[in-house]
Structure 1
């Protein structure tokens, strides 16, 4: 297969809806006997290998493997950790007919030892056909990526979204911040809270943001983080006794009104992380001192009062 064709297929898979991955690729291979596209990994025993060694953290990998069963949880894994399910089977249906095509689950590689600099994790999206199309259940497609915790929340948002109408991409929880002028920034975050459903963020968001060291949430080396910051969603604000190993978050600026054409729509507070011992961090090959801040947003009216959007910079 020509490299251009390989790149085209991979680009399609990267941005494809779940239905396309199952119907256009997995179904054709299992039911029609089509060959797996060249240059993709086939029959890799990913569940017993260290993804930090096997895969490129800067590139998404696609593999077709024998599926991981529930019993595998007792025997799979490697010296550094193992895969655990964080999103159980979700029905994948045809938009045209409503017919069930297959299932998708999400797994996360859990390291045996979790360092403080824990920011990104290996995540696997596993696609399989229904039993009537593949009664042996002998192969599945796995999409493997190295994601930040905020990106994992973004992924789980789509996985657990249960309404009949699929959400638009720009209606989902953003992983990175919004970059423009400050006024547009502030309005963007308030509108994001207003346009979301329910009074609380989903149960898998990071509620203990003020009890974590910033290095547990972000990567100082990440260029997108340096430009935009990372969005963290919480159902509560900072409590008086909240602190963590290595420091605590201190309120620098009280509520500042965020105004739009029709009046005040929300408020913004600013926090700074006070480290017990000031550390230096490597950035662009140099050791620099870093000041961590959180811009916390909430709405002005007594609605969605448990929703806070925090941008760490």
Structure 2
């Protein structure tokens, strides 16, 4: 997917905060509401190596964003995504309420545990478990819980 497919005005920059990703994109996606502008493609990205994602998202910078589904397997043909650190809470700036979580992953080539760490980083954004929309969505269709993924 190339930038021209989005029909965005000149000078448009997509640099959302963590809170903006949760509130204006992920929350709306899970609630089946439209997102304007519609700039995040849906992609089952975990079978892809990170370098194969070029051209599948709006790529005006070194960060690519996608809607995807949560999965246990983060193994690709050439390597795997390894979780690093701890989950980072995302709070509403207006209410200080927990609205989402962010997880960081690093991409390793090869097979665990002998993989070689690369410079590719992935951040998964998900709604907090306390979100009423998250709970009702999980009841309706537990296999399609949406996340936003940022690849750098």
Please indicate, yes or no, whether the TM-score normalized by the shorter chain is above 0.5: yes
Alignment of 1:199-278 (within 5 A): none
Q: 1:50 aligned to 2:49?
A: yes
Aligned counterpart in structure 2 of residue 85 of structure 1, from 83, 86, 101: 83
Choose 1 or 2 for highest CA Rg.
1
Query: CA separation in 2, counterparts of 1:39 and 1:18?
Result: 16
1:126/1:140 Cα in 2 relative to 1: closer, same or farther (>3 Å)?
same
| Residue of structure 2 equivalent to 1:3 | 8
| Residue of structure 2 equivalent to 1:103 | 101
CA offsets, 1:132-187, max 9 Å, x none?
Answer: 32122610011111xxxxxxxxxxxxxxxxxxxxxxxxxxxxxxxxxxxxxxxxxx
Q: Which has the higher contact order (CA 8 A, sep 6+)?
A: 2
Query: CA separation in 2, counterparts of 1:30 and 1:61?
Result: 20
Comparing 98-107 with 44-53, greater Cα deviation is found at 44-53
| Residue of structure 2 equivalent to 1:64 | 67
Could you tell me how far 1:78 is from its partner in structure 2? 2.1
Q: Which runs of 5+ in 2 are unaligned?
A: 1-5
| Residue of structure 2 equivalent to 1:143 | 150
Q: Which runs of 5+ in 1 are unaligned?
A: 146-313
Alignment of 1:150-169 (within 5 A): none
| Residue of structure 1 equivalent to 2:3 | none
1:26/1:85 Cα in 2 relative to 1: closer, same or farther (>3 Å)?
same
Q: 1:126 aligned to 2:124?
A: yes
Query: CA separation in 2, counterparts of 1:37 and 1:85?
Result: 31
Comparing 93-102 with 26-35, greater Cα deviation is found at 26-35
Partner-residue secondary structure (3-state), 2:134: coil
Could you tell me how far 1:27 is from its partner in structure 2? 1.1
CA offsets, 1:25-57, max 9 Å, x none?
Answer: 111222252247445321x12112111222269
Q: Is residue 48–residue 82 contact of structure 1 (8 Å, CA) maintained in 2?
A: no
Query: CA separation in 1, counterparts of 2:87 and 2:36?
Result: 24
Q: Is residue 47–residue 77 contact of structure 2 (8 Å, CA) maintained in 1?
A: no
Partner-residue secondary structure (3-state), 2:51: helix
Q: Is residue 24–residue 35 contact of structure 2 (8 Å, CA) maintained in 1?
A: no
